[in-house]
Structures are given as C-alpha cells and as structure tokens.
Amino acid sequence: MASRGVQFLVLLSAIFGMWLALILKFSKQSTGYVKYAIYGFPIILGFLFGCYSGFSVIYNMIIFRTCPQKAEDLKKDVQEAKDFYASRGVRFD
C-alpha cells in the first residue's frame, strides 16, 4: 500500500497529464471559452481544492468534541511535570 503522499502525487500526475493532453490536442482547434477553460484548468482546480480545504476545516471545527476527562488528565500531567522540575531547581514564573 502506497503512502498518502505517493497517492497524492500519482493523482496529481494523472490530472496534469490529462490537462497537458487537452492542451496539446485542442490548443490549435479551440477558440473562445473552451480554450480559456483548458488553460485555466489548474487555477480552477486550485480554487476548488482551496474551497474544499476551507469547508473541511470549518466543518471539523464545528463538530469538534470536547473531552473534559482528557483535559483533567492533561492538567494533572502538567502539574506533575512542574513539580518534577521544581524539585530539581527549575522555576516557573
């Protein structure tokens, strides 16, 4: 199984290959909006990816769960670390 980065690069290469094929095939034949759409495809794809990323972050922030037990455990761990370093002469102000 390939890592997520390798999968992303393969997908990106496939999309770039299709875009390049469109440019080479239709660049001389196309006129008007089709030509601009083909040349602007990477920009459109980047914009759509940015929208997807933004919506994903916003959605995950909305459904973020609070974990009161984990918060208490973390506070306890921080206090233990402070006590440990205080016993060795480190001061926290």
Report in angstroms the alpha-carbon separations of 17 from 22, 25, 41.
9, 12, 12
Who wins on pLDDT, 79 or 25? 79
Q: In angstroms, rounded to a whole number, what is the distance separating the alpha carbons of residues 39 and 22?
A: 9
pLDDT of residue 9: 84
Q: 39: burial class by Cβ within 10 Å (0-12, 13-18, 19+)?
A: middle
Residue 3 and residue 26 in contact, taking contact as beta carbons nearer than 8 Å:
no
- Domain positions in the chain: 4-87
Please list the alpha-helical segments (H only) found in the chain. Answer: 4-26, 33-39, 41-62, 68-87
* Confidence grade of residue 30 (pLDDT, cut at 50, 70, 90): low
Average confidence (pLDDT) over 40-44: 82
The pTM assigned to this predicted structure is: 0.50
